Chains A and B, each alone.
Chain A
Amino acid sequence: MPNNKKMYDKGKVVAGLIIFGVLITFPLWYNHLKVAPAPEPKLVGKAAKAGQECIEPKSFMKAEHMLVLDIWRDTVVRSAKRVYVNESGKEFEMSLTNTCLDCHTEKAEFCDKCHNYALVLPYCWDCHIDPKEKM
């Protein structure tokens, strides 16, 4: 780049570059250089008790819970089968409100925290309700 040359339309070019700089560093100043701590789903009530086990291991539930719920919905609605049998042969009722929320009583603590953090917005609650939440 020949350094002795002047810039043409300097005002416009510099203004454009400043806009570029502001946009590209947006996450930096939006977060004020701080990291909000990553949420941990809290287990309260029945789920927190020792010896209480979820329908499947934690690692599986973490990755596949949405598929489990989806399959449950389809099975209940289309085939009217309401019993889920897990790997170790234990039986559960296929129900979000009666099975899942029975142990994980705090939806806000258990579901919403991570879902809001990662902006994953399921449509579970379009139809279902959290019995604790006031209508």
Chain B
Amino acid sequence: MNISYMYSLIAVMVLFLLAYLGAQVTVGKVFLGFIIPFLAAITFIVGFIYRVVDWARSPVPFCIPTTCGQQKSLPWIKSAPIENPSTTGGVIVRMFLEIVFFRSLFRNTKQKLKEGDKLSYEWEIWLWVGALAFHWAFFTVVFRHLRFFLEPVPACIQIVENLDGFLQIALPGLLLSGVVLLAAVTFLFLRRIFIPQVRYISLASDFFPLFLIMGIAFTGILMRYFTKVDIVGIKDFAMGLVTFHFHIPEGVGGLFYVHLFFVSILLAYFPFSKLMHLGGIFMSPTRNLTTNSRVKRHINPWNYPVKVHSYEAYEDEFREKMVEVGLPVEKMIEPEPPKEDAPPEEEAEPPEEAEPPEKEAELPEESEEKE
């Protein structure tokens, strides 16, 4: 038994019982119905902004041109305008492909030893397939749920709902996104269990959101297809929740409160966990920087102002002592008559002023990139 997923599973089970039993009493309903969702939403929004601002406060690195494609250079060298974009438009396309289709995960490879000791790299597409199915299904499910929060319901939700249920199987009509979500999250879980290397690096914090989302999908499917909750009552309640007119819905069972509690936990947990990749993907420096380092000069933004002590100032400070011990100086002390000590050295001696530090930082970059 793997202790990481046992802990997560037990945690989700405890949360389930807590919500299910709590929903049996009125005080529990008030907590599960208003107070916890409200606090969770606040935690989610504030925490999300806090994390993003925190990230924005770390310096942005120099652009990273060596990812996946040839950088734009000489006109006769074919460049990759999307994989290694030198324009803002290219960056937008690259970010779009990354956020919407997980382009970089698509390139996922797997290492393997073949015929004894031959190292080989294979294209491994299944994580990408699972991730894409999971995220899109989850997005569709969340989007569909807007019908509980908006009145009148916008037409676009109706279109998505119709597409989602186009198979017209069973009653109430089977919505594909729910099934795909549960299947994909199960696949992503099994992947962590059955692939030894992935199991080895999986932590409780990897399993917990998976179990939680499984719980959310499972309770949702149970309510829709099996226990048949009072959907009008729930919409009335949900509308009250988002417009601050709270009231307890009548005749809604414990399962609904479990569903709501799981979602609240997910929202509250979100900013403090790996789920923050929702915000983080927009800030990935390998994806969102224009790789125009050959065209545009980049100045290291965190160079601090260097205190320069020029030779002139140095001589001003120590002139008397220098003259005293017989060191050559550029300027003689004014009141004294000029000495004939060292006229030839004068011109050769003074070192040039130190260059501003920005220029120094650039030098290695320029020499490296001439390939």
Tell me whether B240 and A35 are in contact (CB under 8 A).
yes
Question: Cα distance A36–B235 when bound, in Å?
Answer: 10
Tell me whether B150 and A27 are in contact (CB under 8 A).
yes
Binary contact readout A1-42 vs B (1 if CB under 8 angstroms, 0 otherwise):
110011111100100110011001011101101111011000
**Nearest chain A CB to B72's CB is how many angstroms away?**
22
**B56 contacts across to A, CB distance below 8 A:** 7-10, 13
- The one of A5, A62, A118 in contact with B57, judged by C-beta atoms closer than 8 angstroms, is A5
Query: Contacts A66-B171, A118-B235, A119-B161: A31 and B151 contacting too (C-beta < 8 A)?
Result: yes
Tell me whether B59 and A8 are in contact (CB under 8 A).
yes
Tell me whether B52 and A121 are in contact (CB under 8 A).
no
Residue ranges of A at the interface with B (Cβ–Cβ < 8 Å): 1-2, 5-10, 13, 16-17, 20-21, 24, 26-28, 30-31, 33-36, 38-39, 62-64, 66-67, 70, 114, 116-123
Question: Cα distance A121–B165 when bound, in Å?
Answer: 10
**CB-nearest residue of chain B to A68:** B171
Tell me whether A119 and B147 are in contact (CB under 8 A).
yes
5 A-B Cβ contacts within 8 A?
A1-B57, A8-B56, A35-B151, A36-B152, A114-B232
**Nearest chain A CB to B238's CB is how many angstroms away?**
9
Tell me whether B158 and A24 are in contact (CB under 8 A).
no
Q: Is B54 an interface residue (CB 8 A)?
A: yes
**B228 contacts across to A, CB distance below 8 A:** 63-64
Tell me whether B48 and A28 are in contact (CB under 8 A).
no
Tell me whether B151 and A36 are in contact (CB under 8 A).
yes
**Nearest chain B CB to A87's CB is how many angstroms away?**
18
Binary contact readout B161-185 vs A (1 if CB under 8 angstroms, 0 otherwise):
1100000100111000000000000
**Nearest chain B CB to A59's CB is how many angstroms away?**
9
Query: Contacts A9-B56, A66-B172: A34 and B243 contacting too (C-beta < 8 A)?
Result: yes
Q: Is B127 an interface residue (CB 8 A)?
A: no
Q: Is B153 an interface residue (CB 8 A)?
A: yes
- The one of A16, A34, A35, A62 in contact with B52, judged by C-beta atoms closer than 8 angstroms, is A16
Binary contact readout B48-60 vs A (1 if CB under 8 angstroms, 0 otherwise):
1110111011111
The size class of the interface chain B forms with chain A is: 35 or more
Residue ranges of B at the interface with A (Cβ–Cβ < 8 Å): 44-45, 48-50, 52-54, 56-60, 146-153, 157-158, 161-162, 168, 171-173, 228, 230-233, 235-236, 239-240, 242-245, 279, 282-283, 301
**Nearest chain B CB to A81's CB is how many angstroms away?**
20
**A13 contacts across to B, CB distance below 8 A:** 52-53, 56, 283
Tell me whether B158 and A121 are in contact (CB under 8 A).
yes
Query: Contacts A35-B240, A38-B235, A66-B172: A119 and B45 contacting too (C-beta < 8 A)?
Result: no
Other than A27-B146, A122-B173, give 5 A-B pairs with Cβ distance below 8 A.
Answer: A13-B52, A24-B45, A26-B146, A31-B242, A117-B235
Query: Contacts A7-B57, A13-B53, A24-B45: A36 and B239 contacting too (C-beta < 8 A)?
Result: yes
Question: Cα distance A122–B58 when bound, in Å?
Answer: 53
- The one of B162, B230, B240 in contact with A121, judged by C-beta atoms closer than 8 angstroms, is B162
Question: Cα distance A89–B150 when bound, in Å?
Answer: 43
- The one of B60, B147, B244, B279 in contact with A33, judged by C-beta atoms closer than 8 angstroms, is B244
**A20 contacts across to B, CB distance below 8 A:** 48-49, 279
**CB-nearest residue of chain B to A21:** B45
Tell me whether A35 and B245 are in contact (CB under 8 A).
yes
- The one of B57, B147, B279 in contact with A2, judged by C-beta atoms closer than 8 angstroms, is B57
Closest 4 pairs (CB-CB, A-B) = A38-B236, A27-B149, A63-B228, A119-B147
**CB-nearest residue of chain B to A123:** B168
**Nearest chain A CB to B289's CB is how many angstroms away?**
10
Question: Cα distance A116–B283 when bound, in Å?
Answer: 40
Question: Cα distance A43–B168 when bound, in Å?
Answer: 29
**Nearest chain B CB to A25's CB is how many angstroms away?**
8
